[in-house]
Amino acid sequence: MQKIPLILTRPKGSNAVFEADIAPKVRQHVDFIHSPLLEIVPIDGGYDSTGADHAIFTSANGVKYAPKGNGRRAFCVGEKTTQLARSHGWDAVFAGATVLALKDHVLINRPQGEIHHYSGVFVRGNVAEDLSVAGLRVTNIPLYEQRLLPFSAQALSVLERRAPVVVPLFSPRTAAHFAAIAPAHPQLYVVAMSTAVADSCNEMSPARLIIAREPTAKSMALCVENLVLNHSLG
């Protein structure tokens, strides 16, 4: 079985984690090509965190660049982000697998006091705005930039061929960027983390578009594994 190119477009550290999540029986059939399309660049902190009674984290990067929790409550999207927040001193609560689920959770619990949503410059879901309209005191605190990057030379070389290529895409912004800079490819197989990501893939006209059952890295890995093992490519 010829190895199938698998282009990984997440930031460098996240690509390595996702690659490790792929089962060994699948990894032997895959040629991993690391081509981050986003670069995470921290913003110099000029914020005052002393007045924040609670935090909201919709990404692991928000946790990495936020102040330590010191026992304060944090509402988190995703199990991994929740676990990371706990390791940074937050009394972290898993508030759902999606931003929508998190907003519902916070609205039901209605925490009192100042809430900071620590995020990147580009943020989806209007978390702070929607929760503020509902009467909570929520402020968005951008801690990092998500800078767009070009394809690596290896990824571009693969995309210029006509052999099957698998690409897992985790965010609408990355998917839209991929669609904007990728050459037309007749055998592009895309695994999208959500319907929002899939909607950003329309301009690619992929040979096949699979949406993960859950918006998690584990579900994405399972989709990639099934695609490779079934070899329903080409």
The predicted-structure confidence for 186-205, as pLDDT tens digits, reads as follows 999 999 999 999 999 888 88
**Phi, psi for residue 34 in degrees, rounded to 5:** -85, 120
pLDDT, average across residues 143-168: 94
Strands 38-42 and 137-148: antiparallel
Class of domain 41-146: alpha beta
Instruction: Please tell me the distance from the alpha carbon of residue 189 to that of residue 142, in angstroms, as a whole number.
Output: 33
The fold of 4-37+149-230 is Rossmann fold (3.40.50)
Beta strands in 52-154 (DSSP E): 54-57, 73-76, 91-94, 114-120, 137-148
**Which 8-state DSSP code applies to residue 181?**
H
| pLDDT at 127 exceeding the cut of 70 | yes
Segment 154-165 shows an average pLDDT of 92
Write out the residue limits of the CATH 3.40.50.10090 domain(s) in the chain.
4-37+149-230, 41-146
Mean pLDDT of 56-64: 95
How far is 17 from 217, CA to CA, in rounded Å? Answer: 9
